[in-house]
């Protein structure tokens, strides 16, 4: 006589319990429940993609049920969800202010140079008109120089206006790993950049469930 160690059913000499289906090995005493074979390890669930963010350029970050795969300019890393403390967007305002100040200083210098070129162009133009009757060759040379200086002076004035507008605010997806920030630069003006908030919400929701 033998008994199922899982449910206690008398299974006689059978190798499997007719009640619960457990595999049986008979005990040496013949009147005690026998030990069942070890259960097979639980099958691991496949990794599933949950969400993804890309700016269409260099930044691409994917969330799965187990990991975060992140890459951007100069960075490409994989993080297990258990190591992620949080996620968000970081705008580098300090760098933006510094770049803007430098751009304004350069723009002023370029603008002043352009104004100086235009002043010289006006003076050469007046001189060229003065010598137009007495020395036509000199007059033509002066007028040509005046036109060239005037053109470059105007170009420099236009450039000085654009220099301030060219300053950009650097924005990053910030992944916090064990208290350290990992920054992934993305183009905030890209078409799909607005999706970053939705992606971050999905990551935070997944981290909450994981914990």
User: pLDDT of 129-142, one tens digit each?
Assistant: 877 777 678 788 88
Same domain as 200, residue 106: no
pLDDT at 95 over 70: yes
Q: What's the pLDDT score for residue 16?
A: 57
Q: What's the pLDDT score for residue 143?
A: 86
- With b for 16 or more beta-carbon neighbours within 10 A and e for fewer, the 125-134 pattern comes to bebbeebeee
How many C-beta neighbours within 10 Å does residue 157 have? Answer: 17
Could you tell me which residue, 172 or 46, shows the higher pLDDT? 172
Same domain as 184, residue 87: yes
Question: What is the C-alpha to C-alpha distance for residues 102 and 105, in angstroms, rounded to an integer?
Answer: 5
pLDDT at 3 over 70: no
Could you tell me which residue, 132 or 21, shows the higher pLDDT? 132
What's the whole-number average pLDDT of the chain? 82
User: In terms of Cα–Cα distance, which of 21, 30, 36 is closest to 2?
Assistant: 30
Same domain as 192, residue 176: yes
- Write down the pTM of the prediction: 0.62
Same domain as 161, residue 129: yes
Same domain as 125, residue 115: yes
Contact yes or no for 11/3 (Cβ under 8 A): yes
Last residue of a domain, one of 165, 181, 197: 165
pLDDT at 170 over 50: yes
As a whole number, mean pLDDT of residues 198-205 equals 92
Residue 58's contacts (CB-CB under 8 Å, 6 or more residues apart) are 71, 72, 73, 185, 186, 187
Its domain, for residue 31, covers 1-43
Could you tell me which residue, 110 or 4, shows the higher pLDDT? 110
How many C-beta neighbours within 10 Å does residue 70 have? Answer: 21
Could you tell me which residue, 57 or 100, shows the higher pLDDT? 100
* Tally of domains within the chain: 3
């Amino acid at each position: 006589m033998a008994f199922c160690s899982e449910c206690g059913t008398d299974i006689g000499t059978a190798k499997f319990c007719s009640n619960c289906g457990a595999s049986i090995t008979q005990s040496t005493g013949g009147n005690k429940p026998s030990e069942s074979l070890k259960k097979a390890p639980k099958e691991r669930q496949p990794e599933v993609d949950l969400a993804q963010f890309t700016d269409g350029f260099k930044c691409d970050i994917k969330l799965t049920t187990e990991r975060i795969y992140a890459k951007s300019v100069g960075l490409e890393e994989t993080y297990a969800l258990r190591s992620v403390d949080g996620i968000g967007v970081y705008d580098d305002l300090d760098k933006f202010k510094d770049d803007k100040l430098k751009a304004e200083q350069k723009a002023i210098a370029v603008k002043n140079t352009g104004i100086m070129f235009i002043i010289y162009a006006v003076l050469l133009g007046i001189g060229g008109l003065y010598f137009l009757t007495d020395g036509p060759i000199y007059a033509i040379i002066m007028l040509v120089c005046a036109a060239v200086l005037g053109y470059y002076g105007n170009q420099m004035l236009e450039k000085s206006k654009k220099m301030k507008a060219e300053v950009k605010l650097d924005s990053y997806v910030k992944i916090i790993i064990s208290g350290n920030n990992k920054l992934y630069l993305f183009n905030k003006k890209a078409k799909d950049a607005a999706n970053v908030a939705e992606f971050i919400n999905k990551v935070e929701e997944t981290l909450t469930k994981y914990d």
